[in-house]
Structure 1
Amino acid sequence: MASESNYVQATIPRFDGHYDHWSMLMEIFLRSKEYWPIVEVGISAPVEGETLTNAQMTEFEARKLKDLKAKNYLFQSIEHPILETILCKETSKDIWDSMKKKYQGTARVKRAQLQALRRDFETLQMKEGESVMSYCARTMEISNKMRFHGEKMNDITILEKILHSLTPKYDYVVCSIEESKDIDELSLDELQSSLLVHEQKMNQHSTSDEQVLKASTFISSNCRGRGKGRGRGRGYRGNRDGGNKDGNGNFRANDDYDKSRGRAFEKSKI
């Protein structure tokens, strides 16, 4: 039982100053515990002088208990300095509304933020050398922020943005996807999966081409090295014989060499 309680406490979203992110996670958490209707709508106390039936009283007490549990989760998600400012709130709805007013910002600020996000989305382009996974993550990050700020954006808008902002090397992939699949029925997960498959194929071809280029460069350099060695050998043997080649490539005897041989022959005759 203690371990279950520790697990629940560990899964409660903690408010870190980013209201939009926290409110989304906290709403999902409260929905999973079936407390969100209490937080969203609140509970109304019986009108003074009104007499409730046993069934109505039982239902009211059950709603109060749910509201108390929802308040407990909200208190656990908020740090002590902020908690001090909302301890006086009566219900979980009061706490939720107070956090929203404090940290979500005014309508004017939200509009300015949304306009900036729209510009970022419109100018978003895949960077040269960027992976499909990284670019899709950047696109979804901006799209989610726009949704948090009230933008009604459907998946097809995000899907078309990704397809039309990839680097030129993906042009044939985009054409293939648009011709073979119904874009209106294609999900973002399917698009990302298809792009990842093509990216892996392109990376494999690129690796193979690099290996072939390295191998051809190595063979070419070896051939040039052996050719130079043979050229020096032939030149050395030609000089050793005491002869040179003329401008036409014909062998020409060395005059000094012939004269020395003649003097030696004359001495032997004497």
Structure 2
Amino acid sequence: MKRLLLVLALTVGAMQAPVGQEQTPEPNRIKRVPEDTRDWVNAYFPPEVMEVLWLTDYAALDQAYENGWLVDIPQNSDPLAEALGIRLQTEGDFPIAEAEPDPKLKVKLFRLAKPGAGLLYSIADHVREEERKERERRKLQPRPFLPIGVTSLVRTAEYQARLIPLNANADTESQGVPATHITGLVTDITRANMTTARDRIVSNYLIELRDADKILYFREGAKQATYHVIALLQTREFFEAEYDRLLLKARERMAAEAQGTIEKPND
């Protein structure tokens, strides 16, 4: 971890986040990373940084977990996932860990780097609050929050290689883009079945975070429509603080519901 911190300090201090118009992939393509986004990903994740963050195999993943770089993301059976406003895609098309047949190894892929987890929880919390405020503005009754869908978390390099034949979105290096999922800083949020109103909320928030030099993101689609969202290393402290804050907020929500202090909205 000391070597990691040294590399981060040397490589991210002078960088600036991209500006300009949001890029949209060409229709009817599995994925096409916009050229300017590709340049920014390479700028923020040059070889010397990727070398340190690179999770080669499950042994490296376990070490990163023991060091505290990776944290568990609660699975759908855990009430904490609902309280955080997330739902992991574990079945159907393109589920998380789809290329890993071993259940004991599969669960290790339900993790993110702590800043990446903080970013994911921040997006879910922002969407929940914006939708709540909109219903209040329109004087509508509260209703249960529909969690945001998550289709990808951390990967190892070995797993990424096995995934490419199953999921064309995983083949980023052929386009000259580093496989950032291997850092644990990246999550994919599904846009499939996302309402236009929610898509607008998510998109606007991602643009806000990007323009504040906190993230990079691009859209993947059309077959597997997702937002590919990357927490930048220079915002590690910010998103780790978000992780702690939103985890506490979710647990307080669960406790309040259990005690009857607040009620879950009915359908």
Which TM-score applies when normalising by structure 1?
A: 0.17
Q: Which has the larger radius of gyration?
A: 1
Q: Which has the higher contact order (CA 8 A, sep 6+)?
A: 2
Q: Indicate the structure with greater strand content.
A: 2
The two structures have a TM-score, normalised by structure 2, of 0.17
